[in-house]
Amino acid sequence: MTAIKVLALDGPILIVNVYMPVDYGTAECVEAYNDACSNIVSLYQESEAVCLMVLRDFNCDCGKPGRFRDVFSKFMLDNNLVCSDTKRLDGVFTYCKDYGSCTSWIYHVVCSKSLDVRICDISVHYKYISSDHKPLTVTLSDVCCEACHVDTAEPYPCVTRYDWSNANINLYQQRLCNALSTVSIPPSAGLMPTEARGNYLPEAPYLRETKCIQYSENNVHGAYVNHDIIIYTCARVD
């Protein structure tokens, strides 16, 4: 559950995006659904919002029998809310399984009555292909938002972004070699001859049960792979 507060001229609006629990037939599922509804109510009561809109996946089809339907209806009744999509649409579905053999209407737009009258359009986007869920969009009219005041004097953390296209490969190799030269090679380690090709060195150290892989990009001289650990080297370490 995520929420934002929109500062409208008529008062703040709390918009809550939900993914409600799924009914697997246990008593814990109904309890979890009740808890989720209670969390939404608590969030609304603790905010300064004068209107509430809750939308997305309620996992409840109002047109079919189900244990969540009574909880869903009580949630709307107790908080003076209406289901805006069922008021405006008919015969739609927002969930489709097995190429249309199983459909349900589980996405909803639930909001305060004063906000419901400002809804000018609700649509289901069947052409949106990404999963078995079909998204809903809701359009509001006559909702004017306050202009936000931006305090430019407030310091913001500086985010450093590196342009690796300008990296100094030679300097990287030199520092990597210096660091690898401090590594203590176990006595069981030996030297495996490798084919000199391009910038490759003729020999490089390796540990037992370690596979040597050569790369021809970025002047990397070799890579030694041991399970999930890869060590790139650019010089022989004696």
Asked if residue 212 belongs to a domain, the reply is yes
- The whole-model pTM stands at 0.60
| Number of domains observed in the structure of the chain | 2
In angstroms, the CA 60 to CA 33 distance is 10
Query: What pLDDT does residue 139 have?
Result: 92
202 and 91 both lie in a single domain:
no
In a domain, 167, yes or no: no
Residues 23, 124: one domain? yes
CATH of the domain at 41: 3.60.10.10
Structure confidence at residue 203 (pLDDT) = 40
| In a domain? residue 67 | yes
Task: Output the CA torsion sign for 95, 101, 102, 104.
Answer: positive
The whole-number pLDDT of residue 189 equals: 46
Residues 43 and 125 in one domain: yes
Q: What is the DSSP string of the chain?
A: -EEEEEEETTEEEEEEEEEPPP--SSHHHHHHHHHHHHHHHHHHHHS--SEEEEEEE----TTS--HHHHHHHHHHHHTTEEEHHHHH--S--SEEETTTTEEE--EEEEEEHHHHTTEEEEEE-TT--SSSB--EEEEE-S-PBPPPP--TTS--PPPP---GGG--HHHHHHHHHHHHTTSPPPTT-EEEE----TT--SEEEE-TT-EEE---STT--EEEEETTEEEEESS---
Tokens of 105: 């209407």
Shared domain for 21 and 99, answered yes or no, is: yes
pLDDT at 210: 35
Q: Would residue 173 count as lying in a domain?
A: no
Residues 24 and 133 in one domain: yes
pLDDT at 153: 62
160, two tokens: 């450093």
The alpha carbon of residue 51 and the mean position of all alpha carbons in its chain are separated, in whole angstroms, by: 27
Q: Which of 140, 161, 176 is the last residue of a domain?
A: 140
Residue 122 and residue 7 share a domain: yes
User: What local confidence, expressed as pLDDT, does residue 196 receive?
Assistant: 39
Q: Is residue 223 part of a domain?
A: yes
Is 172 part of any domain? no
Query: Are residues 124 and 50 both part of a single domain?
Result: yes
**One domain for residues 136 and 194:** no
Supply angle C-alpha 81, 84, 86, rounded to 5: 115
Which of 125, 140, 155 is where one domain is finished?
Answer: 140
The predicted pLDDT at position 148 comes to: 64
Average pLDDT of adjacent 10-residue blocks, the chain of 238 residues: 89 94 94 96 94 94 91 96 95 81 89 94 84 86 73 62 74 86 68 41 38 38 37 40
Q: Within this chain, do residues 117 and 200 fall inside the same structural domain, yes or no?
A: no
| pLDDT (0 to 100) of residue 184 | 80
Say if residue 33 is in the same domain as residue 113.
yes
Asked if the structure places residue 90 within a domain, the reply is yes
The pLDDT value given to residue 185: 73
Whether 147 maps to a domain, the answer reads: no
Residues 125 and 197 in one domain: no
Residues 6+ apart with CB under 8 A from 153: none
pLDDT for res 228: 35
Domain ranges, residue 206: 190-238
